Structure 1
Amino acid sequence: MPVPSTQPAAERKLLRDTVQDKIRDAIMDGTLEPGERLNDDDLIAWLGVSRTPIREALAELARAGLIEMAPNRYTRVAAPSKDEMLDAFRTLGVIYGGVVRLAVPRFTAAERKKIVAMLDDVAARMDAQHQAEVVREGSDLYGMWADACGNPSLAQLCRATTDGLAFKLRVPEFAELVPNEVVRPELDDLKAAVLAEDPIAAELAMEAIHLLPTRS
């Protein structure tokens, strides 16, 4: 039987994904800073791969909102702005309200304990001094919910969109636009709903945390 002709394409895809993960991690941990220009030759030297998987990875990261590209002008790390922040925050609330509603009834005792500990940690660090740390970790925190929702289509949507949306929260005005005194009580309500295994209350609390209009 001849070797399937699709095998090389699969290998290139895996290489592209590896490159994408490395660039994504460098953006999310701050190694590559907002607005920083990305030069193909520098990326080739850093990653040790050819130009093709790098361009493919950058295109995927652009679709996710982490990279900005203008043909023949620039490729650079996205620079979050105050005007984009609230839209991104509320979009996360729309998505993760549904995620939480699905995840809460599925939690094992160990998962519930882990989520409660995470919520306690977030609440303890919501003061102005540590809020930036919480925002920087946002993508990973949201991922804990997505991993437990049990819906592959929704989890895939989360993986495709959360990095870009969470990255847009990294603006100095975050504490001003999302006041601690507004968010903290809703975090307590979310924790209580998780402990009570109440998916509807958890969904409403997650939406309120993200400043979505309350239901009448």
Structure 2
Amino acid sequence: MPVPSTQPAAERKLLRDTVQDKIRDAIMDGTLEPGERLNDDDLIAWLGVSRTPIREALAELARSGLIEMAPNRYTRVAAPTKDELLDAYRTLGVIYGGVVRLAVPRFTEPQRKKVVKMLDDVIARSTKGKQDEVAREGASIYSMWVEACGNASLAALCRSTTDGLAFKLRVPELPELIPADTVLPELEKLKAAVLAKDPIAAELAMEAVHLLPAREH
């Protein structure tokens, strides 16, 4: 029998992904603000697509934690609260401790230099009390480690969870709940471990950066 064509489904998936990326980028760069209501008609006018790919994209963004949906009540951008911050931050530490352990031995020299430069920038801005700037770029910062981890399953997990978790760090209470003087020494250890190509030390430092309980080397 003839094999049914799957092209329409593939096109629909591609369109959904494009819409999802555009809405995601607007949330992450602040164009769509926390708590802002998302109306289908407004999104249709903005994106120039039908309702179906928009609803599919919103459902995916809700699963990642960037969108909040209540049937027949509202669809809105998530609004991070200080009560969620520490749980989200420590969850990132659990995930990215493993990512770092896998990535550090695999870094090419250009990747290693790029990560060290990023850590220098994070350290400098945190020293100046600009943790809010670092938090706004959190998803991009974490993605630098994923590129080199070499584990497709872990990379997929990171792609599906990091945006929503990093977004929850964007609260005014961040400096109070994640003090710079606690994190800065661990960032220095993380940088040293990357330069030394020591995956275990890097993993422990990443976990300590994220305020996870200490464990023996």
Question: How many residues of Structure 1 are paired with residues of Structure 2 in the alignment?
Answer: 216
Task: Indicate if the aligned counterparts of 2:129 and 2:180 stay in contact, CA closer than 8 A.
Answer: no
Q: C-alpha distance in 2, partners of 1:106/1:60?
A: 31
Match of residue 106 from structure 1: 106
Q: C-alpha distance in 2, partners of 1:80/1:194?
A: 31
Over the residues paired in the alignment, what is the CA RMSD in angstroms? Answer: 1.1
Q: C-alpha distance in 2, partners of 1:187/1:39?
A: 41
Q: C-alpha distance in 2, partners of 1:158/1:178?
A: 22
Q: C-alpha distance in 2, partners of 1:20/1:62?
A: 11
3-state SS in 2 of match to 1:43: helix
TM-score of the superposed pair, with normalisation by structure 1: 0.98
Q: C-alpha distance in 2, partners of 1:215/1:125?
A: 28
Match of residue 23 from structure 1: 23
Q: C-alpha distance in 1, partners of 2:31/2:168?
A: 16
Task: Indicate if the aligned counterparts of 1:106 and 1:148 stay in contact, CA closer than 8 A.
Answer: yes
Please state if 1:5 is matched with 2:11. no
Q: C-alpha distance in 2, partners of 1:59/1:128?
A: 38
3-state SS in 2 of match to 1:125: helix
Which runs of 5 or more residues in structure 1 are unaligned?
none
Q: C-alpha distance in 2, partners of 1:120/1:4?
A: 54
Which runs of 5 or more residues in structure 2 are unaligned?
none
Q: C-alpha distance in 2, partners of 1:194/1:128?
A: 23
What is the identity, as a one-letter code, of the residue corresponding to 1:158? C
Q: C-alpha distance in 2, partners of 1:146/1:92?
A: 12
Task: Indicate if the aligned counterparts of 2:37 and 2:75 stay in contact, CA closer than 8 A.
Answer: yes
Please state if 1:55 is matched with 2:55. yes
Q: C-alpha distance in 2, partners of 1:5/1:198?
A: 50
Q: C-alpha distance in 2, partners of 1:62/1:202?
A: 32
What is the identity, as a one-letter code, of the residue corresponding to 1:102? L
The alpha-carbon deviation at position 2 of structure 1 amounts to 5.8
Percentage of identical aligned residues: 82
Q: C-alpha distance in 2, partners of 1:212/1:165?
A: 16
Task: Indicate if the aligned counterparts of 1:80 and 1:169 stay in contact, CA closer than 8 A.
Answer: yes
Task: Indicate if the aligned counterparts of 1:128 and 1:175 stay in contact, CA closer than 8 A.
Answer: no
Pairing 1:50-89 to 2, within 5 Å after superposition? 50-89=50-89
What is the identity, as a one-letter code, of the residue corresponding to 1:212? L
TM-score of the superposed pair, with normalisation by structure 2: 0.97
Q: C-alpha distance in 1, partners of 2:43/2:83?
A: 30
Q: C-alpha distance in 1, partners of 2:61/2:155?
A: 18
What is the identity, as a one-letter code, of the residue corresponding to 1:139? A
The alpha-carbon deviation at position 127 of structure 1 amounts to 3.7
Task: Indicate if the aligned counterparts of 1:96 and 1:206 stay in contact, CA closer than 8 A.
Answer: yes
How big is each residue's C-alpha offset from its partner over 1:10-33, in whole Å with a ceiling of 9 and x where there is no partner?
000000000000000000000000
Match of residue 190 from structure 1: 190
3-state SS in 2 of match to 1:68: strand
3-state SS in 1 of match to 2:38: coil
Q: C-alpha distance in 2, partners of 1:190/1:148?
A: 16
